[in-house]
Amino acid sequence: MQIISALKDIPGASPSGGNRLVALQPHRHMVQEHVSDTPDFGAAHPKIEVTGLSVYYGKTQAIKDVSVTIPEKRVTAVIGPSGCGKSTFLRTLNRMNDLVPGVKVEGSVLLDGMDIYSPHVDVVELRKKVGMVFQRPNPFPKSIWENVAYGPKCQGITNRATLEQIVERSLREAALWDEVKDRLYSSALELSGGQQQRLCIARALAVEPSVLLMDEPAASLDPISTTRIEDLISQLRNNYTVVIVTHNMQQAARVSDYTAFFLMGRLVEFDATEKIFTRPSRKETEDYITGRFG
């Protein structure tokens, strides 16, 4: 089964061991309106609390009554077939959907207890706290240094020494410093695709967000660059809450602590990644991760 290779890095997930694949024990359920169970987050605190979230593009409903709690300083993967609402959900977490004409959002999204859809929220300040990395690298046509310093400069930081510290810290956090420290003033467009994506991550980290959203961050990269991005995500969980959308089951199994499975705009199941990939509670989840559809 395809799922076997996806589980090779999950402790205790061997199909010949104690945790047998749920595909051997199918359940008979239909899709629920929403998921009410919350997994045990251990020592982690809730970072984002989504309640009754629905999103409409005109008359088309893309997200249907989703409720989920995302833990702090953990990696949460969002999986599901194309068109299931993954990217729409991700964009609701920093109000990127506000930029889409005709969009309507119902329900609430709390960040550290603050309703980000309150009319009193400064969206610019929100996006400093909740950074975004897109599928394709999008560096500015500027130097590597200017790309990273851009956000802090927009915040009013002008002291050169301070900016130098921010640039170095951000590039180190993005695992890029050693590769570019001798050419900081070269064009960012001269970097490889994988380096450009890590530069975009450094640019997001420069404004010190607490949450980092990633929409298929390795989809356009080669296998070596993908491995570096995955290793970086594993490191970022020490200081940031990371939410990543991915079509790659193996990637979700490797990098995430928790996994949310979306289908037709609904959240079908949310649980620890190890449980989702070895003994999911829902028949739909089992069918998707074993490759029966999607």
DSSP labels for 94-140? TTGGGGSTTEEEEEEEEETTEETTSTT--HHHHHHHEEEE-SS----
Instruction: Show Cβ contacts of residue 167 under 8 Å, excluding neighbours closer than 6 positions.
Output: 145, 148, 149, 184, 206
How far, CA to CA in Å, does 205 sit from each of 100, 169, 170, 171, 255?
25, 9, 6, 9, 19
Q: Which residues contact 168 (CB under 8 A, 6 or more apart)?
A: 177, 181
What single-letter DSSP state applies at residue 191? S
Sketch out the chain's domains with CATH numbers: 2-14+37-289 (3.40.50.300)
pLDDT of residue 37: 61
Residues 6 or more apart in contact with residue 289 via CB below 8 angstroms: 3, 6, 79, 249, 261, 276, 277, 280
The pLDDT value given to residue 24: 28
CA distances from 223 to 193, 194, 226 (A): 12, 10, 5
CB 266 within 8 A of CB 31: yes
Residue 49's Cβ-count burial label (10 Å; 0-12, 13-18, 19+) is middle
**What does the pLDDT read at residue 190?**
97
pLDDT in tens, 113-170: 999 999 999 999 999 999 999 989 999 999 999 999 999 999 999 999 999 999 999 9
Determine the pLDDT at residue 33: 46
Return the higher-pLDDT residue of 191 and 25: 191
pLDDT digits (tens, 9 = 90+) for 90-110: 999 999 998 899 999 999 999
Distance of CA 31 to the CA centre of its chain: 24
* Token pair recorded at residue 192: 């490889």
| Percentage of the chain modeled with pLDDT above 90 | 79
- Region class of 114: left (phi > 0), else alpha (psi between -120 and 50), else beta: beta
As a whole number of angstroms, the distance between CA 152 and CA 282 comes to: 45
The DSSP line for 225-256 is: HHHHHHHHHHHHTTTSEEEEE-S-HHHHHHH-
pLDDT band for 294, please (50, 70, 90 cuts): low
Q: What is the widest separation between alpha-carbon atoms in the chain? A: 62
Return the amino acid letter for 98. Answer: D
Look at residue 2 and tell me whether its pLDDT is greater than 70: no
**pLDDT on residue 13:** 42
pLDDT over 60 at 1, yes or no: no
The whole model's pTM is what?
A: 0.85
CA 54 to chain centroid, in Å, comes to 19
